[in-house]
Amino acid sequence: MSSFTSFGTSIPVTGPNNGFPGTVSRFGERVISARPFSPITPTNNLNFGDPAVLVPNSTANLEDSYDSIKDFLGTIGNTALLAQYFTGMAVREVKTQVTYPQTPGNNLSGYYSNGQMAEVLERGSATVLLAVGAPKSQDQVYTRVVLNGAVAAGLVGDWETNPAASDLFTLVVGTGGAAAGQKVIPVASTTNVQVGQLVSGPGGSGGSGGQASGIPAGAYVASLITNTSITLNVNLTAALAAGQVMTMSNLFAVPSCVARTGNLDANNVLEITFKTRLAA
């Protein structure tokens, strides 16, 4: 009986990988659209797997185009438009290098650059790089709109789950309350409050629903007045009484977007699902 000699190295299996960010699932429904990528700041790219917004008529000579949330918020700073413009996530493509010679390890593209046609998943499942969170199946998925020093890994325009208490907290309306039609709301303290934070009524979740108590959908903190009040970007539609609770959020809850399985691989790649198409 002859002996068998093996070659190579045995690699222990530590768990399945979910793949590269931006990879679309082969199972289930997939709705993908292609439009030009035209960042407001032309030096920025749209990385595969990044959340994307659909900006209507961004220039005089260009139809609707894609931009990254990081670039959009960093330039426009209008968190109220996220609910209106959010469209999905950039899909990974295979790109070839047509120049020779090629240097191993270089010439790798993991993004769309200014002027390129970009593909974005609008409904279905795909993989993303999760910056913060320990997700379970069907957990709500967020993207960050305001930095938080207590969550160092969280960057504007990333993907996150399981918000920290300092990212999703309540604020009490101060003495005298606020009348309908005004933007200034008195508060007892502005501790942890920052410009750009999304504001909603009781039960709100970062602008994705649960609006109440006269706070319009898409409301955010436009400015602070010392430590005694905040100013919204929009007028209240109904009066707020002293003692009423508002929900403040550094994160935008992506509508109808959840963790598909909760399996987070060693590279922090997670599969998420867009249940509903947000753009046409």
Where are the chain's structural domains?
31-163+254-274
> Which stretch of DSSP H or E encloses residue 74?
helix 69-75
The pTM score is 0.83
> Which stretch of DSSP H or E encloses residue 83?
helix 82-85
Q: Which two tokens stand for residue 249?
A: 């959020």
Closest CA to 196 of 223, 170, 166: 223
In whole angstroms, give the CA distance from residue 20 to residue 127: 7
**73-94 core/surface letters (b: 16 or more CB in 10 A; e: else):** beeeebbbbbbebbbbbbbbee
How confident is the prediction along the chain (280 residues), in pLDDT tens digits per residue? 455 454 555 555 555 688 889 999 878 888 999 999 988 888 889 999 999 999 877 554 456 899 999 998 888 777 878 888 899 999 998 665 555 555 555 445 589 999 999 999 999 999 999 999 999 999 999 999 999 999 999 999 999 999 999 999 999 999 999 999 999 999 988 889 999 999 988 655 554 433 446 898 889 999 987 788 999 999 999 999 888 899 999 999 999 999 998 899 988 999 999 998 876 5
